[in-house]
Amino acid sequence: MYKVLLVDDEELERKILWLTLQNSNLPITILGEAGNGREALEKVHLTRPDLIIMDIKMPGIDGIEATRQIKALYPATEVIILTAYGKFSYSQQAIRAQATDYLLKPIQPHQLIEAVKLALERLSHKKFQSCPVMDLTILEEQLKTRNLKESKRQLTLLLELLATSNPIPLAPLLNSFALRIMVIVTQSVFSAGADPAKVTSFENDLAQDLRHVSSLEDLKSWGETMLEKCIGLLSLNQQFDQGQLLVRKAMDYVELNYANNISLNMVAAYVHVSPAYLSRIFNKKTGGSLTDYLAQIRLKKAKQQLRLTVATIDQIAAANGFNSSSYFSTIFKKNEGVTPSEYRANHTI
């Protein structure tokens, strides 16, 4: 029997989930329930469930953050995210946090049962098959330049890589492989200036179609349709937003180099524009400064390390580009309202 934990801040929602699964005849036992992310983390640590079904929007630690922490500690655990928010950003965050499925409320009983069945299949076969490491850089670049022919060729190469590592891939592996490609591809289209509302609708359609993928041939057909529609979305923009691409490139540089002593001038040199122009276009596209964005990234990484590692405050400050632990503590308290030590005490499992 597989062990399941239900997490939702609404008691009625938890009850509905419980009744649906109890009547499903699936080989599961429901270990218990949690009303928020903090409680979920505590119960995961104590009971080690195989599968967690969790709402995305909860007070305190939300479903996305709880999923990140759970997968960091127990990577084999399956997590199904539930949400009433059908936005691109939510599904993107869920997949990047390594959730293995994403369902929109109100959830029909058959949808929940099917998602749980797939999760159980993945658990059953996980020790036998795994996804190969994928480099999607070239595919992303070809999409941004709307090169459909080359994009399809890159997809074929990725599928050949999958077939080489797993000659007869099972449906759960195909699903996992496709989700990883989907989130990168849709993010590329989004950052290249496509209409966010259209991307959200398109992504939801893709996720639904993915349920019918059961072979490499199905996956190739699904992937090629995805690429065609992605490039079609970009073509709807009469003015290809070079400013958005510039900002995305600057953000990528910051995310890769935040631990170093980087500056506006260095980022501007990397994207081949003047510091003044980069500062102006970054503020226009994001509503904030590049310096603030760098600070946010550093604080985000520092918080992850405070939660998940035993590194000292001095070590964490140095690892995230802060000149001293005292400066790190000052900036941290200004933004978070507590010191790094207090944050760690409140967020350690």
- Reported as a single tens digit per residue, the pLDDT across 296-345 is 999 999 998 898 888 899 999 999 999 899 999 999 999 889 999 999 98
Q: Tell me which residue of 311, 322, 333, 303 sits closest to 69, measured CA to CA.
A: 303
Residue 80 and residue 14 share a domain: yes
- CB–CB of 23/31 below 8 Å? no
Residue 189, pLDDT > 80, answer: no
What does pLDDT average to over the chain?
82
154 lies in some domain: yes
- pLDDT value of residue 166: 65
Identify whether residues 227 and 251 lie together within a single domain: no
Whole-number Å distance between alpha carbons of 134 and 233: 25
What strands, in cross-sheet order, belong to the sheet with 78-83? 28-34, 2-7, 51-55, 78-83, 101-104
Which pLDDT belongs to residue 239? 46
Domain limits at 260? 242-347
Range scoring the smallest mean pLDDT among 180-194, 201-215, 299-313: 180-194
Residue 240's pLDDT band (cuts 50, 70, 90): very low
The pLDDT tens digits of the residues spanning 114-124 come to 889 888 877 87
Q: Within a domain: residue 131? A: no
What are 196's two structure tokens?
């966010």
pLDDT of residue 134: 59
The single residue listed with the structure tokens 């965050």 is: 93
Angle, vertex CA 203, rays to CA 119 and CA 86, nearest 5: 80
7-16, 187-196, 256-265, 285-294: range with lowest mean pLDDT: 187-196
- Model confidence pLDDT, tens digit, residues 126-143: 544 555 555 677 777 777
Last residue in a domain, options 125, 153, 176: 125
Is 8 contained in some domain?
yes
